[in-house]
Structure 1
Amino acid sequence: MDLVGTHGTTVSRYESIGSDGFKCRNSGLRGAGAYFWVKSAYAEELAVGWYLKCIKAGTFSKNPDKRCVVITASFDVLPEQYLDIESDEVKSIFLNLIKQHNAEDSRECSEKFYDLFIELMEKELDVIIKLYKVRAYAPTKALPNCYPTQLAGSPLCYVARDSQCILINGAKTLENVGVKNEKQREGKGSS
């Protein structure tokens, strides 16, 4: 399977990922895990948009080097460990479950419901799902042109539930995005 995605973060966090690996968060709008934008013409812009969203939210406030890094990764999973929630068959099961539970259509309910759905699918299929694909909101408030949501709908992302399946293929530091590094700030202050 050719599964490739991008992830936007800081240089500091990228260095930590290099030594300790990715941390799969316990929460997220589409369930627990590490998020990657599915490889597309807009994958880098989406990763940068996510980085900018996190900068604005203060998520990276304790990172010494806040420069933007876009990580490209692939995923080492067996076909049965991967779930495409956006496929017609799986989406139908998901929608039926929402209706059965009369689930509230809210951000607060979303992350818990995705975790519940994955847990139920694991039991049904008798397999550990390490990676799934789902649509997520594009970070258009942070970077307005990062994805054409009106033309294409919400972009696809991978949610890695097992950090061991994430294989870093490369990383690109974007010097002119978001927060400037310390040397740039110092240089402007001394002029």
Structure 2
Amino acid sequence: MEIYKGHHGTCRSRAAAIKKNGFKPSGGRYGVAVYFWCKDPYSKMLAEDWWRFCCKDNRYAKEEDTGLAILGASLQVASDAFLDLTKPEVARAIREAAAFQNVKKEDAQAFIEQYIDFEAKKRGGNLKLLKTQTSPPKKSKFPILLGAPECYAVYDVFCIFEITEETPQTAPYSEVT
């Protein structure tokens, strides 16, 4: 079993519910999953940027406490249930297959989703954790010159353990700026 660490940005009301009842997967760029920024020097900032994006998008409008909460978690998964799209050989294979099939830019996301589905079927439907690179949230402070940030998509919530509330890297926000 391998252990990975990540940060998840949300509002305080949802963080309290998560700590009480666990995470609930929702739709996202890489399917129905729980999403975490891979733990690194920028992951808390990205979690905060995600929270800020959700606030501006009114995703927490019905929540009692919309203040920032950053949750840290450990993710445990067997190596055969983990797919790492950031590995150079995997990324190269995807690019070569896309070029061979003449995939257009606007179809790239659908192509990647098909690749993930293919890999899941190859594993007998046992894909529990995906590591990939993705765009930072809109208006993020992430220095994009470093490349796209890495994130995890957790398809099986039983992989998530050791949920802790983390301190933001910057001063807490009482309202969205």
Q: TM-score, normalised by structure 2?
A: 0.86
Whether the 8 Å contact between 1:68 and 1:173 is mirrored in structure 2 is no
Long gaps (5+) in structure 1: 181-191
Long gaps (5+) in structure 2: none
Percent of pairs with identical residues: 28
Partner SS for 1:95: helix
Counterparts in 2 of 1:98 and 1:168: CA distance versus 1, 3 Å = farther
* In 1: Cα distance, 2:175 partner to 2:11 partner: 10
* In 1: Cα distance, 2:108 partner to 2:91 partner: 17
1:22-46 residue CA offsets vs partner (Å, 9 max, x unmatched): 11113x2233311111111111101
1:43-63 residue CA offsets vs partner (Å, 9 max, x unmatched): 110100010011011111111
Whether the 8 Å contact between 2:81 and 2:123 is mirrored in structure 1 is no
Give, in angstroms, the shift of residue 176 of structure 1. Answer: 2.6
* In 1: Cα distance, 2:103 partner to 2:21 partner: 37
Alignment of 1:10-89 (within 5 A): 10-26=11-27, 28-89=28-89
Aligned partner (choices 144, 149, 162) of residue 155 of structure 1:
149
| Count of aligned pairs | 173
Counterparts in 2 of 1:97 and 1:162: CA distance versus 1, 3 Å = farther
Give, in angstroms, the shift of residue 173 of structure 1. Answer: 6.1
Root mean square deviation of aligned Cα: 2.2
Give 1:167's aligned amino acid.
F
Q: TM-score, normalised by structure 1?
A: 0.80
Give, in angstroms, the shift of residue 139 of structure 1. Answer: 2.1
Give 1:56's aligned amino acid.
K
Most deviating of 167-176 and 4-13: 167-176
Whether the 8 Å contact between 2:13 and 2:66 is mirrored in structure 1 is yes
Partner SS for 2:90: helix
Counterparts in 2 of 1:157 and 1:178: CA distance versus 1, 3 Å = farther
Give 2:120's aligned amino acid.
E
1:138 aligns with 136
* In 1: Cα distance, 2:77 partner to 2:120 partner: 15
* In 1: Cα distance, 2:17 partner to 2:175 partner: 19
After TM superposition, the runs of 4+ consecutive aligned structure 1 residues lying more than 6 A away are: none
Counterparts in 2 of 1:124 and 1:20: CA distance versus 1, 3 Å = same
2:127 aligns with 129
Whether the 8 Å contact between 1:131 and 1:162 is mirrored in structure 2 is yes
